[in-house]
Amino acid sequence: MNKLFDIKRTKMIDEAAFMHKPSSSGKLFGIFLLVIILCNLASGLIVGLVTTVHDTIIYSQNGVYDTMLEIIDAGGSANDAMKYLEDNMLDLPWWITFVTLFSNAVTIFGAIFYCKKFEKRSLSSMGIRKAGVAVELLLGLAIGALLLSAVFCVLHFSGAVVFERHPFDSRIIRPSIILYFFGYLVKVVADELLYRGFFLTSLSRDTRPIFSALLTALVFSLFNFGSIFMFINSFLFSFLLNVYVLKRGSLWGTIAMRFVWCFGEAAVLGTTGLGAALFIPKYSTSMLLLTGEPGYGLDSGLLATIIFIFAIFIILLLKTKKSEQSCVEIEYFR
């Protein structure tokens, strides 16, 4: 059992530790929290600005602002005008999902900027390594496809979820899927650089890799909390990805793995409830414990928990990539 959790230090961690003074996990977490808050604020500002511009244009075209002025001119109060605006408030436009996804580009910039500017780290130390890119991507795609296929097959053949072809208009669905493709690619790259390229690797410089993997998974699941199952499954999936990065010494595999899962759920199976997917899932109400609630994704049910646990043990059995193994011996903080 000890060998199972004995994750070796890699050259990626050595690069992150170069010219670095040891620091506590608490201090690193505080810095990480500040980075993620600033990135989220900037991302939210972009989405809010785009939405505001859109609403302003529509309200002007529909005469909503003119009516508000008429209410005030007729003796009404500013509160009356605002109430009229609230009663005619627009729903979020369909494309706001794509704006939200693409706004994660801010996080990519933020993670890289902090690591390069303040920790003097290279992209290679964040897992963006030149060696074996094609192999790592193919392995990640294969593992991600296996995980998603396993969940899909069990749900489909058990009757827990029936996947019906979406009667879509190809003129609408094809552009949407293309936007999903690039949007989720940006989202996944942002998360991987932030949580594993930055936090996991920086944490592993001064603590045992297995501890870093567990703590990073906990932080990731806290920031993706939706329900108890979503919390558990986010933790398990993140831990799986953390161990994989530490075993392979590269971020390419987890980028591919998560992309297959996220894109497959949203644009193919339609289980995230965002629309514009190839299939429409029909859930069996008697099996929601296994599947999770409709619209919350496949990682909100018990089945994903079981599959993630099984996958974690398989990944733990993998040996650390020989070409990435470190020769550095350090005394870790306990």
The predicted pLDDT at position 333 comes to 44
The predicted pLDDT at position 2 comes to 55
Assigned domain for 176 exists: yes
Assigned domain for 315 exists: yes
Assigned domain for 281 exists: yes
Q: Is 302 exposed, middle or buried (0-12, 13-18, 19+ CB in 10 A)?
A: middle
Assigned domain for 240 exists: yes
Assigned domain for 264 exists: yes
- Ranges of residues in the chain whose predicted pLDDT is under 50: 332-334
Q: What is d(CA 202, CA 242) in angstroms, rounded to the nearest whole number?
A: 13
pTM above 0.85, yes or no: yes
Residues in contact with 142: Cβ distance below 8 Å, sequence separation at least 6, in sequence order = none
Q: What is d(CA 35, CA 202) in angstroms, rounded to the nearest whole number?
A: 14
Number of domains in the chain: 1
Assigned domain for 54 exists: no
On whether the CB atoms of residues 196 and 111 are closer than 8 A, the answer is: no
The predicted pLDDT at position 334 comes to 38
On whether the CB atoms of residues 249 and 321 are closer than 8 A, the answer is: yes
Q: What is d(CA 125, CA 115) in angstroms, rounded to the nearest whole number?
A: 9
Range of the domain at 300: 11-23+122-324
Assigned domain for 141 exists: yes
Assigned domain for 205 exists: yes
Question: How far is CA 76 from each of CA 40, 70, 72, 315, rounded to the nearest angstrom?
Answer: 39, 9, 5, 67
Give residue 121's identity as a one-letter amino acid code: R
Q: What is d(CA 104, CA 45) in angstroms, rounded to the nearest whole number?
A: 11
The predicted pLDDT at position 147 comes to 93
Q: What is d(CA 190, CA 196) in angstroms, rounded to the nearest whole number?
A: 10
The predicted pLDDT at position 295 comes to 78
